[in-house]
Structure 1
Amino acid sequence: MRRLAEKTLNSTTAEVAAGHASSAQGAPHDRRIAPYPLYLYLDGQPVVVVGAGAVAERKIATLLERGASVTVVAPDATDEVKRWAADERIRWHERGYRTGDLAGALLVIGSTSDEAVNRLVFDDACEAHQLVNIVDVPELCTCIVPSIMRRGRLQIAVSSAGAAPTIARDIRLGLEEAYPAYWADYIDLLGDVRMLVKQRVEGPASARRPLYEAVAASDLLERIAAGERPEAEDVYAAVVMPLLEGGMR
C-alpha cells in the first residue's frame, strides 16, 4: 500500500486519448497509430453535444461536472436534459443538427441514432479542426473518452482505443477495488501538504522532492484507511519539519 502511495504523490496517471483526423474531409484516422494520452481542462470551454438521449445525458452530466459550457442540439431530449435547459445549465437547440452548429466548440460529441447525422457531425468537426467523439463509433473519433476510475482528484483512465471497451471496463473495476474510496481524502491531504512545502521551502523543485517522498512514505495512507483525518499542518510539523531541521534544506 505504501509503495502505491509513493508512486502517487508526484503525479497521478490518467488518459484522454486524442488523435487527429487525417484530412479536412474527415477521413478515419490510421488506427495502427497509438492515440496520444491527454487531459483537457474544460472549465468554461464551449462543448457541443449532438443528441440528447440517455447516452448523451451521461456525457452531458460529466461535462457539467467539469465546468464545460455545453450546447445541445437535438429535436427531443430526456427529462433530465430538459431540466438542465430549463435551469439554464445548458443551451438547447430543440431541432435537428445543421452545419454551422459546431462553430467555436473546442470539443464535439455526437450521440444520435442516425448514421448520416453522425457522419456529418464528424466531417464538419474535422473540417474545423475540432476534437470530435462520435459515441461508440471509434472510426469517427479524433479523441476517445476512456473508462475512468475516480477518487476525488485522483483519476486513473483506461483505454483500448476502441478495440476492447469491455476489457477496459473490467480493468477499471479492478482499479476501483485496488483504490478504495478513502484514497480521495488521502490525495487531498497530499495535495495540501505539497502546497505547504512549495510555499515554505525555497530552492529548486529537486530540493523539495525528498520532502514529498518522505510524506508519501509515512503512515498517512494507513491512518486514513483506519478512519483518521490528519491535518496538513500536523503532517508538515511531524514529517517535514524534522527533515528540514536535520539539514535537508
Structure 2
Amino acid sequence: MQRYYPIMLSLEHSRCVVVGGGALGERRTGGLLEAGAEVLLVCPEIVSARLREWKEAGAIRHLPKPFSPDDLTGAALVVAATGADELNGWICDEAKRRGIPANSASDGSRGSFIVPAVVRRGGLLLTVSTSGAGPAWSARIAGELKARYGPEYAELTKRLGDVRLRVLAEVDEASERRRLMHAAVTDQAVETWLSMTELPDTEALVAMLRCWADEA
C-alpha cells in the first residue's frame, strides 16, 4: 500500500485541468469549484448534464478536443477522469513530468495524489482516506461523519473563527490564548455557541471563556 502525506491545498483562483466529461469528471470538477478553483475541462464531448450546466453558466471553461500535453500549460493541478485507465495514467505521467500534482480518478496509484471522501460544513472540512485501499470504506465513514456533523456545524465553525479573532485581539499572552481557545471547544461551549443567535461583546465573551477554562 502506498503511503501519503495529508495536505490541504489552497486552489482559490488557480487553474485546474480536468480531463473527461462524464460522471468522474463531474465529481472532481464539483470539488474543485467548491474550493474556488478555475476549472478547464478538456474532452471532445460533455456527457454529464451538470458539467453542461456549469459550462453554460460560465462556471467552467471547456476545450472540446482530445487531451494534449499543451493543455497543461499554467495548470496548478490536473485530474485525469476519462474512464480509460491507460489514458488517465499517461495524462498523470505528463503532468508529473512538468511538476504538476496529478490525480487519476480510475487508479490513484498512477497519480501523485488521491482524493479523499469529503464532508464539507462551511469552513469545517472532514476528509477520510484509506490510502487507496478501500474507497467504499472511506465513503461509509464519511457518511457517518456527515450524519454526526450536521449543517449547523457550518455556522458553528464560522462562530468559532470569530471567537478566535476576538481572543487574539484582546489577550496578549499566548498561553492564555491557548487556554481560552481550548475552553471554547468544550461540550459546554459548543452547546452554548449553537444556542446563541449572536456572540456577546468581546469583554463578556472573554470573561465567559475564562470562567469555562477555570472550571475545567
TM-score normalised according to structure 2 size: 0.87
Q: 1:92 to 1:136 in 2, by over 3 A?
A: same
Is 1:231–2:201 an aligned residue pair? no
Q: 1:166 to 1:233 in 2, by over 3 A?
A: same
Q: How many aligned residue pairs are there?
A: 211
Is 1:57–2:23 an aligned residue pair? no
TM-score normalised according to structure 1 size: 0.77
Q: 1:69 aligns with which of 30, 38, 52?
A: 38
Letter in 2 for 1:212: M
Question: What is the distance in 2 between the residues matched to 1:181 and 1:83?
Answer: 26
1:197-216 equivalences in 2 (<5 Å): 197-203=167-173, 205-216=174-185
Bigger proportion of residues as helix: 2
Instruction: Show the counterpart of 1:176.
Output: 146
Unaligned runs of 5+ in 2: none
Deviations 1:18-40 (A, max 9, x none): xxxxxxxxxxxxx44x2000000
How far 1:124 moved relative to its partner?
0.5
Deviations 1:8-65 (A, max 9, x none): xxxxxxxxxxxxxxxxxxxxxxx44x20000001101110000111221121122112
Higher-RCO chain (CA-CA 8 Å, sequence separation at least 6): 1
Is 1:120–2:90 an aligned residue pair? yes
Q: 1:169 to 1:115 in 2, by over 3 A?
A: closer
Question: What is the distance in 2 between the residues matched to 1:181 and 1:116?
Answer: 40
1:27-38 equivalences in 2 (<5 Å): 31-32=1-2, 34-38=3-7
Where 2:44 maps in the other structure, the secondary structure is coil
Instruction: Show the counterpart of 2:110.
Output: 140
How far 1:243 moved relative to its partner?
6.5
Where 1:150 maps in the other structure, the secondary structure is strand
Instruction: Show the counterpart of 2:207.
Output: 241
Question: What is the distance in 2 between the residues matched to 1:100 and 1:143?
Answer: 21
Q: 2:63 aligns with which of 75, 81, 93?
A: 93
How far 1:214 moved relative to its partner?
2.3
Letter in 2 for 1:215: A
How far 1:90 moved relative to its partner?
1.6
Taking only the aligned residue pairs, the percentage that are identical comes to 33
Q: 1:44 to 1:161 in 2, by over 3 A?
A: same
Instruction: Show the counterpart of 2:12.
Output: 43
Where 2:130 maps in the other structure, the secondary structure is coil
How far 1:89 moved relative to its partner?
2.0
Instruction: Show the counterpart of 1:10.
Output: none
Q: RMSD between aligned alpha carbons?
A: 2.3
Unaligned runs of 5+ in 1: 1-30
The 10-residue stretch of structure 1 (142-151 or 209-218) with the greater mean CA deviation from structure 2 = 209-218
Whether the aligned pair in 2 keeps the contact of 1:182 and 1:224 (CA below 8 Å) is no
How far 1:199 moved relative to its partner?
1.7
Whether the aligned pair in 2 keeps the contact of 1:215 and 1:239 (CA below 8 Å) is no
Question: What is the distance in 1 between the residues matched to 2:160 and 2:208?
Answer: 18
Is 1:196–2:172 an aligned residue pair? no
How far 1:239 moved relative to its partner?
4.4
How far 1:218 moved relative to its partner?
6.5
How far 1:242 moved relative to its partner?
5.8
Runs (4+) of structure 1 exceeding 4 A deviation are 242-245
Question: What is the distance in 1 between the residues matched to 2:155 and 2:59?
Answer: 29
Question: What is the distance in 2 between the residues matched to 1:59 and 1:242?
Answer: 43
